[in-house]
Amino acid sequence: MIDSPEAKFAIAAVREAGKLVRRVQAEMVTDALTKGDKSPVTVGDFAAQAVVARRLSQAFPGAVLVGEESAADLREEAGAQTLADVVKFVRTVFPDATPDDVCDWIDLGAVDSHDTHWTLDPIDGTKGFLRGDQYAVALAHIKGGKVVLGALGCPELAAGQTPQKGGPGSVLIAAAGQGAYVGSMADGVDDWRQASVSTTADPAQARVLRSVEKGHTNMGQIDYFAEALGIQADPVGMDSQAKYAVLAAGGGEMLLRLISPKMPDYVEKIWDQAAGSIVITEAGGRVTDLDGRPLDFSHGRTLKTNRGVLATNGALHDAALAALKSVGA
């Protein structure tokens, strides 16, 4: 098992944030704001970013955090009620937190950084979270533009691969050169086992994982892709980096993020890929963009030199890249 101070921190952080957002979901899941890019953000996203950012600043003073959310909308008059709700949930962890503290902690992550920093997706799959489906808390450490550590907290996943409502949830942790492990999200439970990708080498047997949201991928092209490889099973729709956990734990062979025709210029964000990608590579899989290039985390908040994402168990990667080419993806 990986036992560096950074890994211990990341495991504790995604467990704590996972539990916090579960409480938000139980009490008030419908409270969502719409961001400038029309995507939703909930009290849970803000509260989880505040708590993880605060914990990071205490554990590693001076560490830089690149987080998905910012407190700009909460500082406006129109965000006052949402801020009050966020503060209520943050106080379940930090009882003395003031509204200004909470905004300041969230904004610890509202920065750009290129070389060495942590990156947080406080709720990845916010749309899944709102629907009561899969979501994940994703935290990664990037050094010199390379992901060196990643943790995924998946509250609705059992053993890193089976959707399960109301169970303990799963944590995946991976560090460069040290493998990937899956364990329980419950505090103090030490049931870690090594995560390994599936060994399936026959493309026809591949289980394909994709987004639920049409706006996040290209459903039609995924169907053509599956046809080109003679894949028998229908693709599995799953929100968030829970998909990356499932692939790492051997519950699928291919994961596709194709370019949505609705948003042809969309550029992937680092917090959507950093933790998930190291979990997969350390479990023996392979992650590239749709052109076979490695994901390049050295350009700040986005993967601006990459196009989409392909992750596989490794054995099927070249076949998948060829099939992507053949369907024009």
Which positions are catalytic?
A: 45, 126
Which of residues 6, 124, 156, 253 is near Mg ion by CB under 5 A? 124
Segment lying near ligand A3P (by CB under 6 A), choices 1-9, 195-203, 213-221, 287-295: 213-221
Report the distance separating Cα 254 and Cα 243, nearest Å.
10
Tell me which amino acid residue 128 is.
Answer: G
215 contacts ligand A3P (rule: CB under 6 A): yes
Which DSSP letter does residue 269 get? Answer: B
Least distance (Å) between residue 49 CB and ligand A3P: 11
Tell me the site size for ligand A3P, rule CB under 6 A.
Answer: 19
Site for Mg ion in 218-277 (CB under 5 A): 272
Which of residues 73, 213, 223, 296 is near ligand A3P by CB under 6 A? 213
107 contacts ligand A3P (rule: CB under 6 A): no
Site for ligand A3P in 282-301 (CB under 6 A): none
39 contacts ligand A3P (rule: CB under 6 A): yes
Report the distance separating Cα 85 and Cα 47, nearest Å.
9
The pattern of x and - marking residues 121 through 140 that bind ligand A3P according to CB under 6 A reads x-xxxx-x------------
Burial class of residue 67 in the structure, from the number of CB atoms within 10 Å of its CB (0-12 exposed, 13-18 middle, 19+ buried): buried
Give the 3-state secondary structure of residue 145.
coil
Q: Which residue lies nearer to Mg ion by CB, 39 or 116? A: 39
Least distance (Å) between residue 251 CB and ligand A3P: 16
Site for Mg ion in 68-97 (CB under 5 A): 68
240 contacts ligand A3P (rule: CB under 6 A): yes
Smallest CA-to-CA distance from 134 within 10, 258, 252 is with 252
279-to-181, 234, 242, 318 alpha-carbon distances in Å: 8, 24, 11, 20
289 contacts Mg ion (rule: CB under 5 A): no
For helices 219-228 and 317-326, give the axis angle rounded to 10 degrees: 120
User: Buried b vs exposed e over 195-231: b needs ≥16 C-beta within 10 Å?
Assistant: bbbbebeebeebbbbbbbbeebbbbebbebbbebbeb
- Report, in angstroms and rounded to the nearest whole number, the Rg of the chain calculated over CA atoms: 19
Give the 3-state secondary structure of residue 102.
helix
Give strand pairing partners of 301: none
Least distance (Å) between residue 133 CB and ligand A3P: 9
Tell me which amino acid residue 269 is.
Answer: K
49 contacts ligand A3P (rule: CB under 6 A): no
Least distance (Å) between residue 19 CB and ligand A3P: 18
Segment lying near ligand A3P (by CB under 6 A), choices 48-56, 102-110, 168-176, 261-269: 261-269
Segment lying near Mg ion (by CB under 5 A), choices 31-39, 146-154, 170-178, 294-302: 31-39
Q: How far apart are the first and last CA of the chain?
A: 38
Contact 118, 137 (CB under 8 A): no
Segment lying near Mg ion (by CB under 5 A), choices 11-19, 92-100, 124-132, 166-174: 124-132
Binding site for ligand A3P (CB under 6 A): 39, 68, 121, 123-126, 128, 211, 213, 215-216, 239-240, 260, 263, 266, 269, 272
| Sequence ranges of the binding site for Mg(2+) | 68, 121, 123-124, 272
